[in-house]
Amino acid sequence: MTRSSINAQMAQYGAPEDFDQWAKLMNDDSWSWKNFSQYFTKFERYQPHPNYPLVDTAVRGTSGPIRIGYFNSVSETSKAFIKACISIGIPFIPDFNVSSVTYIDEKRQRVSSESAYLTKDVLARKNLTVALNAQVTRIIFKIENGEKRAIGVQVANSSTGTRYRVLARKEVILCAGAVQSPQILKLSGIGPAEELKSHDISVVHDLPGVGSNLVDHPVVDLYFKDKHDRSLKYFHIKSLLDAFKVLRAAMQYYLLGSGGPLATNLGESAAFVRSDDPSLFPKQQYPETLLDSTSGPGAPDLELFTTPFAYKVCEFSQETHFSPILNDVGENRPLSTGSVLLRSSNPFDLPIVNPNYLKAPEDAVKLARGVRLLLKIAQTEPLASYLDGNFRRPDLDHGTHLKSDEEIMELVRERVETVYHPSSTCRMAPQEMNGVVDSQLRVYGIQGLRVCDTSVYPWIVSGHTAGACYAMAEKLADVLKLSIHQTR
């Protein structure tokens, strides 16, 4: 729930081939796009917008809990970004892989997993209890008919607080995310035996894949000055005029309900490309053949997106107050993998997270290609007219296109960071391939325990991670209902 409360609300789900690859790995056709796609439309409640008539509503869900649509505000620079992408040869698609909309409803409000699923009616159900400030400290097991079974969880609100036991009648479903899910499994005695022993944790089940194979989407930011001073810089108030603009934006959003600047989702426009596309990366300029990490020829490995202002504290923001525009390039299918390790046996100690960005040399090369492409887009009309190309400072990128390949590579290494899409630390894969869960998300070697979050992704999706997580949860709900029905 936390992730969907702070993300950029970009409802882009990845490529259909991503899920076909999952199905092939697990030898389970229920994960293929032709079958799994029903769960995307199941959670969707698409709300058409008159400004986007080209979206094929026939392939969109209309009755699900997650309201999606085009009710975000889009700046003129973000619109110009799309036109510039088209100008350099990136084809326009009105609906990315059957999704490019936002998790923003017709009231211009964020739609999170909490607001969508935990409605007042749902919270009023007698068979649901929501515990606040209750952190799971470990899973409780018992031996049943010679098999290890999860029978509940232990929770507390602080490291010195009382431990409470919450018992399960059927199963325990772990949904703590790609960082906390492996941590909880390890604290409970499920994970690499040597690591558990090093923290004096009794081994319940030796499962080496827990906490390994961490994959995230690395991103590199580029900064440009808005020539027309139209960015949303005034949200960082530094004058009375800024305060007035923020007040006006608040009135437009809260009182008039007409959206305005506060209805931006930040990541307003995006383009997905392949780093081996010869029309964008001609062989004479990019002769190196890179290892293909995608799920298929129709899947991208680079995402380019733009935001209406620089949302992070940068060198220049400390000195002078002008309008910065942020353009980003992210790698959708990195080869580098990292890990989530225990810091201690204390569940309130944050784990050690090492994403290992750029461990695989190909990742840096692909990001460098993306940077070159993004710089080309910034010099292409109509976007070029929105950026002040004469405003040259070392902390801006108006002159970065003049740098050598070696300097661009160094820029990538200096600026690479997370876009907050961790995944694959409790991977759905055959156990001999370091898998943690099977195709029904059951933890190997343990009865009555499943994991359902981005940690089980066999490979990270070549897009934004929230949508596939919603679909996965909807799929698991059907699996559980069928399982309960069969045991009655």
Q: Could you give the residue numbers annotated as active site?
A: 421
Comparing CA positions, the residue from 349, 60, 92 lying closest to residue 199 is 349
Q: What is the 3-state secondary structure (H, E, C) of the chain?
A: CHHHHHCCCEECCCCHHHHHHHHHHHCCHHHCHHHHHHHHHHHEEEECCCCCCCCCHHHCCECCCEEEECCCCCCHHHHHHHHHHHHCCCCCCCCHHHCCEECECCCCCECCHHHHHCCHHHHCCCCCCCCCCCEEEEEEEEEECCEEEEEEEEEECCCCCCCEEEECCCCEEECCHHHHHHHHHHHCCEECHHHHHHCCCCCCEECCCCCCCEECCEEEEEEEEECCCCCCHHHCCCCHHHHHHHHHHHHHHHHCCCCCHHHCCCCCEEEEECCCCCCCCCCCCCCCCCCCCCCCCCCCCEEEEEECCCCCCCCHHHCCCCCEEEEEEEECCCCCCEEEECCCCCCCCCCEEECCCCCCHHHHHHHHHHHHHHHHHHCCCCHHHHECCCCCCCCCCCCHHHCCHHHHHHHHHHHCEECCCCECCCCECCHHHCCCECCCCEECCCECEEECCHHHCCCCCCCCCHHHHHHHHHHHHHHHHHHHHHHC
